[in-house]
Amino acid sequence: MNRPSLALLFLLVVGAAAYGQAPARLETSPTVNTETSADQPGPTRAIAALKRLERDVVIYRSLGDFEADGRLARISFPAFANDLQAVTTEVEPMLSRMPEGRLKAEIRNALDSYRDGAFWWQKIHQSRVVHVSALTSFEGTRTTSDTAFLATVPYTVAIHWRQAGKHLKRAEELMNGTRG
């Protein structure tokens, strides 16, 4: 099999696996009033904190847009990692106090999508600082499958950013009462 078709096959498998790992929808019972949780300042502050992360990343509408630009974020990886840590520290306590329901699930899924994107972005991030212990070359041990896998990581990061944006939008709709 030639390299382009192998890379395409790998991309399709990764995309299918990512789609298969979509978070389960939480159904709220008719007796649970989701409006009471939306009136609390916690969800509002959590969404505002996640909006800061949304401003840091680039969310593409299509694969063609991503391939034309290729940027993952508007800031560097270390700056995003710091912002993610600050937002996580801010949002986690709010989530623990929120009642179970769709709003909490959407906020949690948005945060988890940003974490997943950062995890994959870290895999391809190349620091500008060279450590003495890293002076040995690993390029000779990299296989063609490793190279193909690393080529798909930016797509994986972009998918996570897009998923985070969708979850954040749903959370905002639940807060505003425009989503039932």
Find tokens 């099999």 and name the residue. 1
What pLDDT score was predicted for residue 36? 40
The amino acid at 124: I
Query: What confidence tens digit (pLDDT) does each residue in 5-49 have?
Result: 655 555 555 665 555 554 544 444 333 333 444 455 789 999 999
CA–CA separation, 63 and 85 (whole Å): 28
Q: What is the mean pLDDT of residues 153-168?
A: 93
Query: What confidence tens digit (pLDDT) does each residue in 110-147 have?
Result: 999 999 999 999 988 876 555 555 555 555 577 888 77
Domain ranges of the chain: 36-124+144-180
CATH class of domain segment(s) 36-124+144-180: mainly alpha
* pTM (2 d.p.): 0.69
103 Cβ neighbours under 8 A, 6+ residues apart: 34, 37, 38, 43, 171, 174, 175
CA 97 to mean position of chain CA atoms: 23
Query: What confidence tens digit (pLDDT) does each residue in 52-83 have?
Result: 999 999 998 888 888 888 888 999 999 999 99
Residue pair 180/33 in contact by the 8 Å Cβ criterion: no
